[in-house]
Structure 1
Amino acid sequence: MAEAKKTKTYHFHSDWEEDYFFVYSNSKSVCLICNSSVALPKKGNLERHFKTVHKRYDADFPAKSALRTRKVRELKGQLAAQQSIFTRPNTKGKAATIASYRVSHVLAKHKKSFKDGKVVKEAFVEAADALFGDFKDKSDIIAAIKDMQLSRGTVTRRCEGMAEDVEEQLRKDVEQCECFSLQFDESTDVVDVAQLCVYIRMVFGDMGAKEELLTILPLKGHTRGEDIFQAFMEFVNKTQLPLFKLISITTDGAPAMVGRTSGFIALCKQSEYFPDFLNYHCIIHQQALCSKILNMKEVMDVAMKIVCSVRARSLQRRLFRAHLEETGAEHTDLLLHTDVRWLSRGKFLARFSELLPEIKDFLKLSKHAEYAQLEDYQWLLDLAFLTDLTDLLNDFNLELQGKDKHVINMISAVNTFKSKLQLLSNRLQRYDLCNFPHMQAELQRQGKDFVQLDSARFEEQVQSILLEFERRFTDFGSIEPVASYLCFPFGPSIDVDSIASKIVSLFHFDNTAVENEILTLQNDIEIKSRATSDMNGEFWNLLTEQKYHNLRKCAFNLTALFGSTYLCECAFSHMKIIKSKYRSTMTDDHLLACLRLATSSYCPDYEKLAASSQCQRSH
């Protein structure tokens, strides 16, 4: 009986405010007259207190009268004012904490150091002093700015908390998505630690896709396929990544990744934890490898030797830049080329060709070594051809780059460029140089006609690149017919048996079920009537899961495919800025937190983070 009595719950009734001048505040019944509190909101307790301590209030303020109502309202206002004295600092502290999180997020987005929070705060105060000079509450504004906690340690903790919140949002999306693909790439940071970057592309039930940084894993020792596999499996076991949703893996094509026996992909396919998945070599990497097939070594060697002779010595570089200023050249310096930077060769050759007259004059004035090639019309024509062709390759490379690039769009771009190469070859046969502006300009300068020259050597170079494109881009050949069908499933000449077999070989579905769904879709009058051209890719949302299970899953899988490792390359560019020589001692955990905040599309929940923090103002 005693235990039952102790566990009984009492509820405060709003009528007791006017009956006994009590209100319920902070889990206690508080007297409006003397501010005394009663732990249990029992009617008897409140009535006894009121009639014993404040019995004269019954005479001064009669029950159920307007006078008593006004008095209760007045006393409630006074109590609220008293309580606000204590809650106001907490409110200000929470606002300062939220502002601290927001500023820390901006610093992380822009890859700034943790200690830059103090600089932001100092600049904020200085700007506020000028901006709010005529405001009446200027002192309050500046005081609120000074309340922000932006010390180095605080910004570090803020970034850690926000990274955990963003990671939690990502984990929830991975659990909710229908399927996902991964892309892997590896690079070294400023202290030569190998960092394995992993990006994920998730596809959800509404056919929406999202690309996010999954993790970056440090490889302290070797970077063999087995080391990469072990590091990734440790991450999978730690985070409980649902590998059964995996559709494909895209890599940079390095031996450690694609080795037949001990490469990362081979080890994944041997593991029982991985489902049957597709694997691809990055389209952008393959395009860069195709570009190297150009056999123009004699042109590049001479051009590089000339540029290095000018750029290698500080005096020569200063004199050359002064020469460019005197002649009024459009550019002020020469560019260097390195094979690691895929676009640098095209930019290097374009700048060299544009400054060729100035280079010749400078070499004569400075009495440098003589280069007979600069007067050889065939070498100059080869230089112009190489400049034009690398410029076209650079434009194609840039077209393949970017976030949210669908693999179908990338395959289309590759096919378009192959057709363009064939067109260039045909035009060279007809002595048409409309796609080669540098060659046209060089022929006009020499006063020669292209018909008089040997066009076969240039046509051979174009054909060699075209053949290399045909050879390398066979990985995506099995996707193209499936992608064409999914983009337009109501074509007039659809071979049901052929399309079904390609889908089955790609994603291992049941052949009979796929054929039945294709035939059903072709004769579905309702779906056909709603399949308009302005549906913005939402066609597959019209298909029900029960009726078109395999075709919907095929659409999900195709949407999830990565075409390149562009996102990993971008992450490494961010990493070079975040972990620079000035922040070389940054830990791996802090690198991952900063990289996640800098690249993620998720926004941290500032309110939730502030609620879990001690909202104290800056001291």
Structure 2
Amino acid sequence: MSEAKKAKTYHFHREWEDDYFFTFSNSKSVCLICNAAVAIPKKGNLERHFLTVHKKYASDFPARSALRTEKVSELKRQLAAKQAVFTRPVNKSKAATVASYRVSRVLAKRKKSFKDGEVFKEAFLEAADTLFADFKNKKEIVSSIEDMQLSRNTVTRRCEAMSGDIEQQLQNDIDACLCFSLQFDESTDAVDVAQLCVFIRMVFGDMTAKEELLTILPLKGHTRGSDIFDTFMEFVSKSNLPLFKLTSITTDGAPSMVGRTAGFVALCKLSESFPDFLSYHCIIHQQQLCGKILNMKDVMDVAMKIACSVRARSLQRRLFRAQLEEAGADHTDLLLHTDVRWLSRGRFLERFLELLPEIKEFLKHSTTHAVAYSQLDDGQWLTDLAFLTDVTNKINDLNLELQGKGKHIANMISSVNAFKTKLRLLLSRLQRCDLRSFPHMEAELRRQGKESVELSDAYAQQIQSILSEFERRFADFASIEPVAQFLCFPFANVDVDCIAPQIATLFSLDGSAVENEILTLTNDIELKARATPGISGEFWNLLLEEKYPSLRQCALNMSSLFGSTYLCESAFSHMKIIKSKYRTTLTDDHLAACLRLALSSYRPDYEKLADSSQCQKSH
């Protein structure tokens, strides 16, 4: 049986437009005169049609003449206008669909309800009535706005589709990255469902890093370490997360996370699915725990009692506000302190100290406050209050410095080390009665007329206890700090016998290979001349993979490390707004979709999403 002959392929030629009044449209040759379609663009077929059906055009419009060229252009415009009658509604519907995707993303970014899309559309139509009053095409503009699909159900579907698109982009980046780290934290939503938040920091071949929300997983029952582990492993199995790329896990200090035997991290290290990875307690949480070592309960208890007594009753609070406004104070109310807020104690004490004269005046003339607070006239108590305010403000400054997205662990360790140095300086100044670093305490002593008073040793002991707590808690980072220092300054005087084993141990590398690469690097004249070192810079991207495989891997792993669980904490703030007491029926899947849209730096592919949707105008 002979092989079938291959079908010959014909191609349309542009000169046939002038020769035979034909054009090529929608994979067919179309006659510009009668709009008849010829399936196969063969010269003989077009010539036969033209000479048989439209022979008069050959004489009325001579070949190669300007008259024929003008007539062909006119007929092409007429054909395009006829085709636009059918394509314009389709394009208009697609534009309305893309617009509805864009508006839905804005609503999700702003953490608004799904039904707010209808409010947006109503407001847009009201504004259009005035904004486009003088426009000739006002009716078309208003019609386009009315075509946008922004009902509650539509916005819900749009958010689901965009979340899926962003999740696919994230999956592509996870597959492309060379290593990543994870941070975990758990909190409850408005209906007391425990939500496990997981963020990922990916590092790619060019040494760039990207931080994104990986997932948020509901925990319906207990939140023990085994429950968290089982839930996460179920997600790993479903999403095919490449755990062999894992470098480190950062958590808060909850027993369910860091328990030695049944904690989540301990179970991960026992599992064969996980490689050897680093694990450590969030730097910001540890810093906050160090601040709680301040033993000045008598000051906080009295200040809190007074603040609560003023704010507990509506009448008292109104009267106090009126007094502050009458006195022209900078602030119009007292703040309250809560332990779960990192910065609340420092801000509460500073506001309390600034409003202390007004507080004393208010309590003196208030008839409802039967308790007399003698501490407000006690010089020692007021000095303690000023000292506590100064110290907590300095701790707050460190806390703010550690917060933020994209913080590298080397920078955070540097901030902690700088603060420890400041504490040593404060300690030495207190011992010399030098109060230049304690403005509130200095002002209070000046007010009391004690310019050159001998300070109590208790203040120095408080600073010493904070310093000792910092030294104890941040011992976990003792193995990371020298490696980070080397990666920032590889051309400094390096003790190879010391740093090579530390790098090899930290990231499970071959010690002899690391040692040889360090010696080669420190003597590489070309690299010294071409770049300035730095973990977050482009220096380590200059190293050839074949020549420095271990050092490149070390730089990649170090760049992937999270320093804190700040991203999880900030995500929970967004979660509280998204799933508020007014949206308690929001499902876990919709919560995850809204949170992903609100936090992600990815941009949905609107055109692809619109092509996969039914592009219809709004009902």
- What is the TM-score when the length of structure 2 is the normalising length? 0.96
Tell me the secondary structure at the aligned position of residue 315 of structure 2. Answer: helix
Letter in 1 for 2:416: V
- CA deviation after TM superposition for structure 1 residue 373, in Å: 1.3
Report the residue type matching 2:466 in the other structure.
I
Q: Distance in 2 between matches of 1:170 and 1:16?
A: 50
> In structure 1, how many angstroms separate the alpha carbons of the residues matched to 2:533 and 2:411?
17
CA distance in 2, matches of 1:372, 1:78: 95
Q: Deviations over 1:98-147 (max 9, x none)?
A: 22211111111111111111222222222222223333333332222222
2:372 to 364, 370, 378: 370
May I ask how many residue pairs the two structures share in their alignment?
617
In the aligned structure 1, how far is the partner of 2:202 from the partner of 2:59? 72
1:410 aligned partner = 412
Q: Are 2:338 and 1:338 equivalent residues in the alignment?
A: yes
CA offset digits 1:10-56 (Å, max 9, x no partner): 44343443443332222233222212223343445444433443333
Residue 294 in 1 paired to residue 288 in 2?
Answer: no
Tell whether the 8 Å contact from 2:487 to 2:533 is kept in structure 1 after alignment: no
Cα drift, residue 308 of structure 1: 1.2
| Aligned 8 A contact 2:379 2:448 in 1 | yes
> Is residue 2:84 matched to residue 1:60?
no
The secondary structure found in structure 2 opposite 1:474 is helix
- The 4+ residue runs of structure 1 with deviation greater than 6 A are 533-536
Q: What is the rounded CA distance, in whole Å, between the counterparts of 2:137 and 2:305 in structure 1?
A: 67
- Post-superposition shift, 1:522? 1.2
Q: Secondary structure at the match of 2:108?
A: helix
> Is 1:110 matched with 2:110?
yes
Greater CA drift, 59-68 or 541-550 = 59-68
Q: Report the counterpart of residue 269 of structure 2 in structure 1.
A: 269
Deviation, structure 1 residue 163: 1.1
Describe the superposition over 1:269-292 as per-residue Cα deviations: whole angstroms up to 9, x where unpaired.
111111100001000000111111
Residue of structure 2 equivalent to 1:483: 484
RMSD of aligned residue pairs (Cα, Å): 1.9
Matched AA of 2:166? V
Pick which of 90-99 and 410-419 moved more: 90-99
Specify the code of the residue in structure 1 equivalent to 2:418.
Answer: T
**Cα deviation, residue 393, structure 1:** 0.6
1:379-394 correspondence runs (5 A): 379-394=381-396
Q: How far apart are the structure 2 equivalents of 1:103 and 1:3?
A: 58
Q: Deviations over 1:355-394 (max 9, x none)?
A: 1111111111114210121111111111111111111111
Query: Match of 2:555?
Result: 555
- Larger mean CA deviation between 604-613 and 545-554 belongs to 604-613
| Structure 1 residues 2 and 109: CA distance shift in structure 2, 3 A | farther
Residue 230 of structure 1 is matched in structure 2 by: 230
SS at match of 2:216: strand
Residue 597 of structure 1 and its aligned partner are, at CA, apart by 0.8
Per the TM alignment, residue 618 of structure 1 is displaced from its structure 2 partner at its CA by 2.3
Change (3 A) 1:135 1:470: same
Q: Secondary structure at the match of 1:610?
A: helix
- Offset, 1:9: 4.5
Give 1:448 deviation, angstroms: 1.7
The answer for the alignment partner of 1:154 in structure 2 is 154
- Relative distance call for 1:323 and 1:62 in structure 2 (3 A) is closer
Give the unaligned 5+ runs of structure 2. none
The equivalent residue for 2:316 is: 316
Q: Would the aligned equivalents of 2:251 and 2:281 in 1 still touch at CA under 8 Å?
A: yes
Does the 8 Å CA contact 2:12/2:24 hold for their aligned counterparts? Answer: yes
1 CA distance for matches of 2:511 and 2:434? Answer: 50
Measure how far apart 1:293 and its partner are.
0.6
Unaligned runs of 5+ in 1: none
Q: Find the aligned partners of 1:532 and 1:506 in 2 and give their Cα distance.
A: 24
In the TM superposition, residue 347 of structure 1 has moved relative to its aligned partner by 1.0
2:451 matched residue in structure 1:
449
The AA in structure 1 aligned to 2:103 is V
The equivalent residue for 1:470 is 471
Which amino acid in 2 is paired with 1:335? Answer: L
**What residue number does 1:614 align with?**
614
Displacement, 1:318? 1.6
Further displaced range: 237-246 or 601-610: 601-610
Residue pairs, 1:136-155, within 5 angstroms: 136-155=136-155
2:428 matches 1:426: yes
Q: Which residue of 1 aligns with 2:522?
A: 522
Aligned position for 1:396: 398
For residue 272 of structure 2, what is the amino acid of its counterpart?
Answer: E
Offset at 1:450?
A: 5.0
Match of 1:216 in 2: 216
1:277 alignment partner AA: F
Distance in 2 between the 1:326 and 1:573 partners?
Answer: 36
Q: Distance in 2 between matches of 1:526 and 1:425?
A: 46
Partners of 1:597 and 1:549 lie apart in 2 by 37
Q: Which moved more, 1:367-376 or 1:479-488?
A: 367-376
- In structure 2, the CA distance between the partners of 1:535 and 1:265, relative to structure 1 (3 Å rule), is closer
Q: Secondary structure at the match of 1:218?
A: strand
Quickly say closer, same or farther: Cα 1:569–1:509, change in 2 above 3 A: same
Equivalent residue number for residue 461 of structure 1: 462
- For 1:548, the aligned partner's letter is Y
CA gap of 1:446–1:31, structure 2 versus 1, over 3 A, is: same
2:315 maps to a residue whose letter is L
Q: Name the CA distance, whole Å, in 1 between partners of 2:257 and 2:282.
A: 12
- How big is each residue's C-alpha offset from its partner over 1:193-230, in whole Å with a ceiling of 9 and x where there is no partner? 10000000011111111110001001111111111111
1:325 and 1:535 map into 2 onto residues whose CA distance is 52
Give the 3 Å change call, closer, same or farther, for CA 450–244 of structure 1 in structure 2: farther
How far 1:65 sits from its partner (Å)?
4.3
- Distance in 1, matches of 2:436 and 2:47, equals 100
Deviation at 1:499, TM superposition (A): 0.4
Tell me: CA distance 1:28–1:531, structure 2 relative to 1, closer, same or farther (3 Å).
Answer: closer
Can you list the C-alpha shifts for 1:157-202, whole angstroms capped at 9, x where unaligned? Answer: 1111111111111111111111110000000000001000000001
Alpha-carbon spacing, 1:510–1:246, altered in 2? closer, same or farther (3 Å): same
| 1:221-248: CA deviation from partner (whole Å, max 9, x where unpaired) | 1111111111111111111111111100
Deviations 1:385-409 (A, max 9, x none): 1111111111111110000000000
- Which stretch shows the higher mean deviation, 267-276 or 602-611? 602-611
